[in-house]
Amino acid sequence: MIYLGLGALALVIAALMLAPEGDGSGGGMSPDMLANLAYTGAILALVAAGFWRQIRAAPVRSLQALAAWVLIGAALVLGYSYRDRIEGVSARVMGDLRPGSAVSGPGGTVTVTRRSDGTFRVEGRIDGRAQDFLFDTGASSVVLTAEGAAALGFRPKPEEFTARVWTANGPTSAAPIQLETLSVGTITERNVNAMVARPGALAGNLLGQTFLDRLGSYEVRGDRLILTPKR
């Protein structure tokens, strides 16, 4: 095997040396292509020769190694072919292990698993900084606690609490603000109107309609909240 590879390399070198000057091709192939072909052929011949020698020396072990590589290759091909289904299963497992985590799915959807207390606590990001939210369709706006807003640099003055918002716990007064970005998983909305609640009025941030209305849809299926971005 090795001699065939070296012989092929020698023939190609001879063809290159004997080719007329100014002739940019040999048998329809350029000198660079012939050189690359010779180099590749020689490498393959060396690899095949080494493998053949190993098979002759230890046939059982060599065949076992070959079978293992074939199985690895088949697993890689199958994994690539069914990557979408595998991603879906892994996302479901991740959601079950970490309720509240925003798990991305096909078509840009984001799925959140219900917590043991029956609520959907959603992991989000405001202007790139992590903030947790309670999913609340009864809230007319995204509402931040005074403490959460202060951590983001929003500190409204007392006279700025002029707006009324309605939450699942009833109405409260709040100060209007605008968020540069609000992200849940892979869904990001810009220039989102929001409110800062008075200190002590809320136990946690609310993911309300000023964000939810921008989505293509949102729905609850069993113990999962599915957010779908607009196309």
pLDDT one-digit tens code per residue, 79-108: 666 555 555 555 455 545 555 677 888 888
Kindly report, residue by residue over 105-132, the tens digit of the pLDDT: 888 899 999 988 888 999 999 999 999 9
pLDDT of residue 192: 96
Residue 119 half-sphere exposure toward CB, CA atoms < 13 A: 14
Please state, in angstroms and rounded to a whole number, the distance separating the CA atoms of residues 204 and 206: 6
Contact by Cβ (8 Å): 201, 150: no
Task: Report the Cα 169 to chain-centroid distance in Å.
Answer: 36
Give the range with max mean pLDDT: 13-27, 154-168, 173-187: 173-187
The model carries a pTM of 0.58
Kindly report, residue by residue over 128-159, the tens digit of the pLDDT: 999 999 999 888 899 999 999 999 999 999 89
Mean pLDDT for 14-29 is: 52
Contact by Cβ (8 Å): 216, 230: yes
Mean pLDDT for 177-185 is: 95
Please state, in angstroms and rounded to a whole number, the distance separating the CA atoms of residues 100 and 224: 10
